[in-house]
Amino acid sequence: MQRIRISDARHHAGESVEVAGWLYNLRRSGKICFPLVRDGSGIMQCVAVKASLDETLFESLRSLTQESSLVIRGKLRAEERAPGGVEMDVESAEILQRVPETDPYPITPKDHGIDFLMDHRHLWLRSKRQHAILRVRHEVIKAIRDFFDSNGFLNVDTPIFTPAACEGTTTLFEVDYFEDEKVYLTQSGQLYNEANVMAHGKVYCFGPTFRAEKSKTRRHLTEFWMVEPEMAYATLEDVKQVAEQMVVFIVGRVLENRREELKVLERDVSKLESIRAPFHRMSYDDAVKILQSRGSEIQWGGDFGGTDETILTQEMDRPVMVDRFPATFKAFYFQPDEARHDVVLGVDVLAPEGYGEIIGGGQRIHDLDLLLRRIDEHHLPREAFNWYIDLRKFGSVPHAGFGMGVERFTAWMCGLEHIREAIAFPRMLYRTRP
Ligand code: 4AD
Ligand code: MG
């Protein structure tokens, strides 16, 4: 008998097939029971009738416990009201492992607290909402790769163990390497991207990054996935254009391929449908004025807080690009604005509906002397940056790029309250398990 995946079931109406999965739920009466079986690709309703089945088999199905594993066989019948459009009339089944009544599956349809669910994340992943979220995440990742691959970027990945800080020394995780050597978990692949881009012209890296963020917010993970494109002979304006095109492309893919999942998540898709170019653009100066007029405490020179980002984007239908930040709170590598030396050519893209910063990037310093000065001003050890400094000695050119966090983007697509659901096993200030 042919084994199928539930997502393909509607193409097999009228055939006898086999499905390998887990018991999601069960309704029953004396003579008939309806196992809901999930196989990872979908959920299928099965109908088991006592009169037409072996008695022990019927009884074992009728009393089957949630999340027991089974292979179930039967004939598929088109049924428009059923999830997936077909139902299975059960002919036979094999139960691989029956979850004992004495130690039942801990996650039931009743409401559980978030700590309980997070402690059982390894099982919570099977729930409908979590299942849908990780499928949207997959779509986001695939769209990112397709976007860069089809726009002339080469994927060159960067190291995780690094000798120096990219995004400031306060959020570094230190690791004991061999022979008393200390290294850090990477905060960003950018510095290595800058070497790779001088070899390939347009590159991106895509991997896990780490921040020892002491912030316990709904937007911060200590381990998150970031895609970082970098372009040679490019400026801040190029970054804004590519970032805008990329965001529009990914949103389009999610809408095209993940309608079902967005429905499970009860996402208001009209909010995603209005994401089009051009995005709103404003300078940091203007952003500060707007924020002050809306009651924020922010002063010129201060970084946005989470609430500031929310205020800026709340009434917006599209993302907002804020550029030209004060040099004082930005990383050492930002190119200053020629016209105004107190601001740098950086840009943040803020997602609407209060989701806040999803992208940060800008133009890098290409002048050797200026870079050396900045490294010293930031009290960074020159010897750890020798190779990076070399890039300004051998064919230096203006170059620019950005980073986008996959979980922030996924949380926005799915309309999540908290970023922790946008990754299978989140790592946060107080959470390193399971
Ligand atoms: O703005 P960030 O810190 O920029 C950089 O790391 C640059 N070196 C990137 C580059 O230009 N190549 O981080 C970029 C993005 C943020 O906009 C956000 O989406 C995500 O990474 N991000 C986080 N996501 C989850 N948890 C955290 N703690 C994050 N910190 C940054
Ligand atoms: Mg940033």
Ligand nearest to the CA of 158: 1
Going by DSSP bridges, is the β-strand pair 320-326/280-283 parallel, antiparallel, or unpaired? parallel
Rounded Cα gap, residues 107 and 245, in angstroms? 41
Ligand 1 atom with least separation from CA of 360:
1
Ligand nearest to the CA of 239: 1
129 touches 119 (CB < 8 A): no
Ligand 1 atom with least separation from CA of 222:
28
Query: Which residue lies with its CA nearest to atom 6 of ligand 1?
Result: 188
How many Cβ atoms sit within 10 Å of the Cβ of residue 14? Answer: 9
CA of 265 to the centre of ligand 1 (A): 26
CA of 203 to the centre of ligand 2 (A): 20
Q: Using 50, 70 and 90 to split pLDDT, how confident is the model at 162?
A: very high
Q: Among 348, 255, 340, which Cα is nearest to 303's? A: 348
Element holding 323 (H helix, E strand): strand 320-326
| Residue from 187, 224, 413, 427 whose mutation best tests the ligand 1 pocket (most atoms within 8 A of CB) | 224
Burial 188-215 (b: 16+ CB within 10 A, else e): bbbbbbbbbbbeebbbbbbeebbbebee
Query: Which residue lies with its CA nearest to atom 31 of ligand 1?
Result: 405
The secondary structure of 26-68 as a DSSP string is EEE-SSEEEEEEE-SS-EEEEEEEGGGS-HHHHHHHHTPPTT-
Q: What is the mean pLDDT of residues 371-398?
A: 95
- For residue 33, the model assigns a pLDDT of 97
228 touches 246 (CB < 8 A): no
Ligand 1 atom with least separation from CA of 402:
11
Q: What is the mean pLDDT of residues 116-126?
A: 97
CA of 230 to the centre of ligand 1 (A): 14
Going by DSSP bridges, is the β-strand pair 154-155/202-210 parallel, antiparallel, or unpaired? parallel
| Cα 208 to Cα 128, 171, 246, distances in angstroms | 26, 15, 20
What is the residue whose two structure tokens read 């907002």?
Answer: 320
Q: Using 50, 70 and 90 to split pLDDT, how confident is the model at 216?
A: confident
How many Cβ atoms sit within 10 Å of the Cβ of residue 185? Answer: 18
How many Cβ atoms sit within 10 Å of the Cβ of residue 28? Answer: 14
Interhelix angle 284-293/306-313, nearest 10 degrees? 90
> How would you class 409 by CB atoms within 10 Å of its CB: exposed for 0-12, middle for 13-18, buried for 19 or more?
buried
CA of 98 to the centre of ligand 1 (A): 45
What single DSSP character describes residue 428? B
Per-residue pLDDT tens over the stretch 320-335: 999 999 999 999 999 9
Rounded Cα gap, residues 361 and 229, in angstroms? 9
pTM of the prediction? 0.96
Per-residue pLDDT tens over the stretch 375-386: 999 999 999 999
CA of 408 to the centre of ligand 2 (A): 12
CA of 105 to the centre of ligand 2 (A): 41
CA of 415 to the centre of ligand 2 (A): 21
376 backbone dihedrals φ, ψ, rounded to 5°: -70, -45
- For residue 166, the model assigns a pLDDT of 83
Rounded Cα gap, residues 268 and 271, in angstroms? 6
Ligand nearest to the CA of 212: 1
The secondary structure of 190-209 as a DSSP string is HHHHHHHHHHHSEEEEEEEE
Q: Which residues line ligand 1 (CB under 6 A)?
A: 166-167, 188, 190, 211, 213, 220-221, 224, 226, 228, 357-361, 401-405, 407-408
Count of alpha carbons within 13 Å of 341, Cβ hemisphere only?
1
Ligand 1 atom with least separation from CA of 211:
28
What is the residue whose two structure tokens read 């590519």?
Answer: 242
CA of 357 to the centre of ligand 2 (A): 7
Ligand nearest to the CA of 349: 1
Ligand 1 atom with least separation from CA of 221:
26
User: Which residues face 403 on adjacent strands?
Assistant: 360
CA of 375 to the centre of ligand 1 (A): 20
Ligand nearest to the CA of 363: 1
Per-residue pLDDT tens over the stretch 260-303: 999 999 999 999 999 999 999 999 999 999 999 999 999 999 99
- For residue 109, the model assigns a pLDDT of 80
Query: Which residue lies with its CA nearest to atom 29 of ligand 1?
Result: 220
Per-residue pLDDT tens over the stretch 22-71: 999 999 988 999 999 999 999 999 999 999 999 999 999 999 999 999 99
Query: Which residue lies with its CA nearest to atom 20 of ligand 1?
Result: 405
Residue 384 identity (one-letter amino acid): A
